[in-house]
Amino acid sequence: MWLFIVSDAITFSAVIFAYGYLRLAATAWPRPFETPSIGNATVMTFVLLSSSVAMVLAVRASSLGKVSGAVGWLVATALGGVIFDVLHIHEWLGLIGEGVRPFHNPWGTPMFGAAFFTMTGLHMLHVTIGVVYLLIIALGFGRRKFSAVDVEVSGLYWHFVDLVWMFIFPLVYLLSAKTA
């Protein structure tokens, strides 16, 4: 899992560097995120960080052999992921409603949409896969098919997804906050 995480980190880095390239080369990069958007993204960050703590507790419960505790915390972690996804899709629909498309938007550099949807979309895909992964692990650990190590490895993946958001949130949202 560590090797997968490092390679996935490079994938995300490439996407983030591509965004940096586009933004640095652009003359009028949009800063469309108003205070409600920033608030929404901040809440999403809190939810993801808190779900990571639930994951830590799930890993600990599983290593102590507490099956129901581990399953409970795993489901709580997955629930955090679902809340994150729902808030994020709501955000996406808002932007699409304002007329943002991958190669067109009402404010400035056309590539804004492509960069935004690629970065946040790739991350949202990871969260969604993570939710499915955690629920499978919860089910399997509850039936004693999976071991505590399996729970721990799924935790590594989940914390990594959390970690990536710690870069996407400031780069995409905070640096494009509408401040004036």
Partner 1 sequence: MEHAETAGNKIVFSVWFGLLGLTVLEVILAYRQLPLETMLSILMVLSVIKAALIIAYFMHLRYEQASLFVTLIPALVFILIMMTVIFADSSRLAHMRSLVQ
Q: Which is nearer to partner 1, 25 or 129 (CB)?
A: 25
Q: Which is nearer to partner 1, 46 or 99 (CB)?
A: 46
Q: Which is nearer to partner 1, 18 or 139 (CB)?
A: 18
- Residue 117 falls in which region: left (phi positive, over 0), alpha (psi -120 to 50) or beta: alpha
Shortest spacing between CB 59 and partner 1, in angstroms = 8
Residue 22 and residue 113: Cα distance in Å, rounded?
A: 11
Q: Report in angstroms the alpha-carbon separations of 50 from 36, 73, 85, 100, 109.
A: 21, 11, 14, 31, 35
Shortest spacing between CB 99 and partner 1, in angstroms = 24
Q: Which is nearer to partner 1, 100 or 158 (CB)?
A: 158
Residue 162 and residue 167: Cα distance in Å, rounded?
A: 9
Shortest spacing between CB 76 and partner 1, in angstroms = 14
- Contact residues for partner 1, defined by CB under 8 A: 2, 6, 9-10, 13-14, 17, 20-22, 24-27, 38, 42, 45-46, 49-50, 52-53, 55-57, 59-60, 63, 149, 152-153, 155-156, 159-160, 162-163, 166-167, 169-171, 173-175, 177, 179
Shortest spacing between CB 71 and partner 1, in angstroms = 19
- Running DSSP on this structure, what letter comes out for residue 146? S
Q: Which is nearer to partner 1, 97 or 110 (CB)?
A: 110
Shortest spacing between CB 31 and partner 1, in angstroms = 10
